[in-house]
Amino acid sequence: MRVLVLGGTGFIGSRAVTRLASMGHEVAVFSRGKTRADLPREVRRLVGDQAELGRHVRAFRDFSADVVVGMHLMSEREATAFTSAFAGLTGRALAISSVTTPLAEARRLLGSSTTP
Ligand SMILES: NC(=O)c1ccc[n+]([C@@H]2O[C@H](COP(=O)([O-])OP(=O)(O)OC[C@H]3O[C@@H](n4cnc5c(N)ncnc54)[C@H](OP(=O)(O)O)[C@@H]3O)[C@@H](O)[C@H]2O)c1
């Protein structure tokens, strides 16, 4: 599958991305480029800010992800922007956060959830 991971260079995100790539998935990460991560060479890097997802729609469309993972959604606003940006662009969106407010919003917008 083609998997786009927003925030895929962080402590947990980079490990998830490395694992996905090792399983044979085609992976792209989207981040500001501030957090350095030693990712497999084949992982595609998209640089940008989650606060401006709308500016990157073309790149997201070009990658054509089967699954998009929002690895670092920290506010209700970010959760709303995430679901809006990827509506119609991907078959499945997954929101991950240890902060309950964005998760509640993502749950409402995406329709299902698993709470650890
Ligand atoms: N680490 C833990 O122990 C822990 C424990 C429980 C739950 N969690 C949850 O697991 C998830 C991932 O955690 P993590 O530890 O991997 O996070 P992290 O190490 O803080 O990494 C954050 C990631 O998000 C990117 N990012 C941050 N702000 C961004 C923005 N405005 N636009 C685009 N990218 C942005 C960062 O890259 P740039 O800085 O380059 O943009 C980086 O890739 C989070 O939802 C966290 O709440 C983590």
Distance 13 CA to ligand 1 centre (A): 7
**Using a 6 Å cutoff on CB, does residue 90 contact ligand 1?**
no
Quote the pTM value. 0.92
Beta strands across the sheet bearing 44-47: 44-47, 26-31, 2-6, 67-70, 92-95
Give the single-character DSSP code of 73: -
Question: Given this model, what pLDDT does residue 91 score?
Answer: 86
Contact 109, 79 (CB under 8 A): yes
Distance CA 11, CA 37 (A): 9
**Using a 6 Å cutoff on CB, does residue 16 contact ligand 1?**
no
**Using a 6 Å cutoff on CB, does residue 1 contact ligand 1?**
no
Question: Given this model, what pLDDT does residue 112 score?
Answer: 62
Question: Given this model, what pLDDT does residue 102 score?
Answer: 67
Question: Given this model, what pLDDT does residue 8 score?
Answer: 97
Distance 23 CA to ligand 1 centre (A): 22
Ordered mean pLDDT values, 10 residues apiece, the chain (116 residues): 97 97 98 97 97 95 96 88 89 84 70 59
**Using a 6 Å cutoff on CB, does residue 9 contact ligand 1?**
yes
